[in-house]
Each structure stands twice: as structure tokens, then as C-alpha cells.
């Protein structure tokens, strides 16, 4: 079992003596395999534990030595699953199999997780209709794929005197994406940039639209 098993490792020992040239010998030792978060087998040194069998049956309160003896008889590991309980709760299990299945589940969960990206669309206040429509289609594609979208208008030179044009442009952009997205916040001016964030609508909201 994983909790009981070890691996052999070579330890390099330097042997002293009168010779100027030190001699070295390899000695093989067995080191315990580290587990992740659970105390197992000989690591459990509580005076008493409440033991649960591999099938979930309550085996009662007993000494940790007796619980470990039962684990060895059944060729299983003794694993502390509730260390804060009084007395601590331990379970008989194949800890190696448990860790393998847990790692497999974690990998599967990570595989199914979707990473949401923030895509940025940049425009100028004087953007023409064709360019506006191209950027609009790009944003709608990003949003339909489940990503958020940051839409930014950059003001140059004297354009800073007419930031209302950029604001109207951003509001119009958000309205054109209204069937599939919502505007998180109103247009906000930061330096020479004014931006909005668009987030995809939940599926049920899209249907209602």
C-alpha cells in the first residue's frame, strides 16, 4: 500500500580514517513515500481512534496500534480522515488507489474548466461605418465563444475636447451586442482612453431576449 510502501534510495556515506583519500560507500535505505495531507499508518500516533472499515462500517473506538494491526491484516492502509474529531476518525483503504483516483478526478475537472479570456477591441472616435461593423462582428464572435470583451476608444490631440463622441460610440457598440452581451459598467474615461466591458449573457437570458 502507498502509506506503508517505501522506495529504496542510495545514501553516500563518507568513511573516516587515517588515509588522506576519503572512501565512500553506498548504503541503500528505505524512505517512506510522502502523502499529501493525510496521516497514514505509523504516522498516526493518537492514543485512540474511531475506525471505519473500507466498506464504511463503523468498527468502533480502539487504540491506533489495534487499528493499524487490522489494516495490516486486510492488506490496507490506515488513513486519518477526520483529525479534529474526538477521537480522530480513521478509515481502512487502499491509499495508493485513492490517491490515483483523486488525481484522475482533479485532472478531469481541470480539463473541463473553461478559461475566460478578455478580448480587446480598439477604435477611434472618427471610425468609419465599415471598420465599426468589422470590429462589431469580431466582438460578437468573441462574446459568443464565452469570452469577455473590452471595447476602447482612444482620443488623440484635439479629440479630447469631444469625449462625448467616444461615449456615444461605445454605448452604440454595446447596444449592437445587446442580444448576446451585457455592459458591465458605463463608459469610463482614463487618461486618453474610454472603455467599457461586455460580458456574455447566460444562456437563459439569451433565450428571453
Q: What is the pLDDT of residue 206?
A: 53
Q: What is the pLDDT of residue 25?
A: 43
Residue 196 falls within a domain, yes or no? Answer: yes
Residue 126 falls within a domain, yes or no? Answer: yes
Residue 64 falls within a domain, yes or no? Answer: yes
Q: What is the pLDDT of residue 204?
A: 59
Q: What is the pLDDT of residue 184?
A: 87
Q: What is the pLDDT of residue 115?
A: 65
Residue 158 falls within a domain, yes or no? Answer: yes
- Give DSSP secondary structure letters for 22-47: -EEEEEEEEEEPP-SS--BGGG---S
Q: What is the pLDDT of residue 3?
A: 43
What is the number of structural domains in the chain? 2
CA contacts within 13 A on the Cβ side of 118: 9
Q: What is the pLDDT of residue 69?
A: 92
Same domain? For 67 and 122 the reply is no
Series of mean pLDDT values for 10-residue runs along the chain (209 residues): 41 46 42 58 90 90 92 91 90 90 84 74 91 93 89 91 91 91 88 92 63
Amino acid at each position: 500500500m502507498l502509506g506503508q510502501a517505501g522506495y529504496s534510495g542510495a545514501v553516500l556515506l563518507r568513511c573516516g580514517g587515517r588515509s588522506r583519500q576519503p572512501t565512500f560507500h553506498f548504503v541503500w535505505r528505505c524512505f517512506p513515500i510522502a502523502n499529501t495531507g493525510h496521516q497514514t499508518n505509523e504516522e498516526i500516533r493518537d492514543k485512540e481512534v474511531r475506525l471505519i472499515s473500507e466498506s464504511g462500517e463503523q468498527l468502533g473506538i480502539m487504540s491506533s496500534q489495534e487499528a493499524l494491526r487490522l489494516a495490516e491484516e486486510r492488506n490496507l492502509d490506515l488513513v486519518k480522515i477526520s483529525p479534529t474529531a474526538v477521537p480522530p476518525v480513521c478509515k481502512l483503504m487502499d491509499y495508493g488507489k485513492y490517491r490515483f483516483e483523486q488525481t484522475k478526478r482533479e485532472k478531469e475537472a481541470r480539463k473541463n474548466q473553461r478559461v475566460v479570456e478578455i478580448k480587446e477591441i480598439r477604435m477611434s472616435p472618427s471610425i468609419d461605418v465599415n471598420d465599426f461593423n468589422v470590429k462589431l462582428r469580431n466582438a460578437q464572435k468573441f462574446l459568443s465563444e464565452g469570452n469577455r470583451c473590452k471595447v476602447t476608444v482612444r482620443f488623440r490631440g484635439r479629440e479630447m475636447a469631444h469625449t462625448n463622441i467616444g461615449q456615444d460610440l461605445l454605448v452604440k457598440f454595446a447596444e449592437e451586442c445587446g442580444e448576446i452581451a451585457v455592459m458591465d459598467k458605463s463608459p469610463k474615461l482614463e487618461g486618453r482612453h474610454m472603455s467599457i466591458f461586455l460580458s456574455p449573457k447566460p444562456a437563459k437570458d439569451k433565450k428571453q431576449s
